[in-house]
Structure 1
Amino acid sequence: MQYRRYYHPGAAYFFTVVTARRRPLFDHPSVVGLLRQRVRQVKIQYPFVLDSMVVLPDHLHCIWVLPENDSDFSIRWRLIKSGLSRTLRETFGLKGPFWQPRFWEHFLRDERDWQRHRDYIHFNPVKHGLVRRVRDWPHSSFHRFVERGEYPEDWGGVVPDFRGVGKE
Structure 2
Amino acid sequence: MTHRYHSHSLRKGRFSEVGRPYLVTFTTAGRYPWFSHFTTACQACRAITRSDTQGASHTWCYVVMPDHIHWLLSTTEKHELSQIIRMVKARVSRYQDQPIWQPGFHDHALRSEQALKPTARYIIANPVRAGLVKSVRDYPFWNAAWL
Greater radius of gyration (CA): 1
Query: If the length of structure 2 is used for normalisation, what is the TM-score?
Result: 0.81
SS state at 1:75 partner? helix
RMSD: 2.1
Alignment of 1:35 onto 2:44: yes
State whether residues 47 and 92 of structure 2, in contact with CA within 8 Å, keep that contact through their aligned partners in structure 1.
yes
Question: Equivalent residue for 2:113?
Answer: 111
**Could you tell me how far apart the structure 1 residues matched to 2:113 and 2:53 are?**
27
Question: Equivalent residue for 2:101?
Answer: 99
Counterparts in 2 of 1:44-123, with a 5 A limit?
A: 44-67=53-76, 69-70=77-78, 72-89=80-97, 96-123=98-125
| Structure 1 unaligned regions, length at least 5 | 90-95, 149-168
SS state at 1:141 partner? strand
Q: How far apart are 1:41 and its partner, in Å?
A: 3.5
**Could you tell me how far apart the structure 2 residues matched to 1:43 and 1:111 are?**
19
| Structure 2 unaligned regions, length at least 5 | 1-5
| Offset from partner CA, 1:101-133 (integer Å, 9 cap, x none) | 011111111133222211111110011111122
Task: In structure 2, give the amino acid aligned to 1:122.
Answer: I
**Residue-pair matches, total:** 138
| Offset from partner CA, 1:132-164 (integer Å, 9 cap, x none) | 22222111226x74xx4xxxxxxxxxxxxxxxx
Name the structure where strand makes up a greater proportion of residues.
2
Sort the Cα spacing of 1:5 and 1:18 in 2 relative to 1 into closer, same or farther, 3 A. same
State whether residues 45 and 141 of structure 2, in contact with CA within 8 Å, keep that contact through their aligned partners in structure 1.
no
Q: Give me the identity figure in percent.
A: 31
**Could you tell me how far apart the structure 2 residues matched to 1:87 and 1:133 are?**
29
Alignment of 1:16 onto 2:13: no
Sort the Cα spacing of 1:40 and 1:138 in 2 relative to 1 into closer, same or farther, 3 A. closer
Counterparts in 2 of 1:139-158, with a 5 A limit?
A: 139-141=141-143, 145=146, 148=147
Sort the Cα spacing of 1:139 and 1:44 in 2 relative to 1 into closer, same or farther, 3 A. closer
Q: Higher relative contact order at CA 8 Å, sep ≥6: structure 1 or structure 2?
A: 2
